[in-house]
Amino acid sequence: MTPLPASSPYGSLNIQSVPSGAAVFVNGDYKGTTYPNDPVYVSQLTPGSYSVVLSMPDYQSFSQNAEVQANKAGEITATMMPSNTPSDTTGQITVGSIPAGAGVYLDNKYSGITSMVLANVPRGSHNILLRQAGYQDWLSTVSVTGGSYALVSGTLVPGVSPTPTTKSAPSMMIALAGVGVCGVLVLLRKKE
């Protein structure tokens, strides 16, 4: 970890969960997912009180208010408690993109923009589509296991997705009429 400069007006939070795999939200904004020995580091926080919530399938949500102080790094370790009613039929998908801000479609249904967590996703195979203006669509298939989380991250390629061109009915009629006139002219020339 890098210490904050002595003159920094900001503070930070290091957030971890036991077990790992929890989605971290600070003041309602998704900040990342905890991994073993890899806390979610949230920096550039102005001093004050922040709401920290961690969520994970089959576990009760963890919430805590954290006081951030200038030039200090606060530590939060959330012990996730199993929920009373096991629901191993759903999991969650953490979705990211480069660049951020892409539209997320889960099985062709719009779900929000990256970065985000899709919660209560039925176990099984699902399609994730990322779409952003000026970039080609990005598509992936992800397998969700009940009671676990999956991570999906797509790098969008600049450009526009190809769209099929269709001719309108009037232009098709004009083209067919032109072919017919040419055919008549050819027949008349052969008779001469």
pLDDT in tens, 44-76: 999 999 999 999 887 889 999 999 999 999 999
How many Cβ atoms from other residues are within 10 Å of residue 60's Cβ? 13
Q: 184: phi > 0 → left, psi -120 to 50 → alpha, else beta; which?
A: alpha
Q: Name the residue type at position 168.
A: S
Does the model's pTM come out above 0.75? no
pLDDT tens by residue, 4-48 = 555 678 999 999 999 888 999 999 999 999 988 889 999 999 999
CATH number of 90-155: 2.60.40.2070
Is residue 149 within 8 A of residue 19, CB to CB? The reply is no
Q: Whole-number mean pLDDT of the chain?
A: 83
Asked if domains 11-79 and 90-155 share a fold, the reply is: yes
Is residue 114 within 8 A of residue 98, CB to CB? The reply is no
CA distance 140 to 156: 12
Domain range annotation of the chain: 11-79, 90-155
pLDDT tens by residue, 74-95 = 999 999 988 765 556 888 899 9
pLDDT tens by residue, 95-132 = 999 999 999 999 999 999 998 888 889 989 999 999 99
pLDDT tens by residue, 124-167 = 999 999 999 999 999 999 998 877 788 899 999 998 655 444 44
CA distance 166 to 88: 47
Would you identify the CATH topology of the domain 11-79? Immunoglobulin-like (2.60.40)
Whether omega for the bond prior to residue 39 falls within 30 degrees of 0, making it cis, is: no
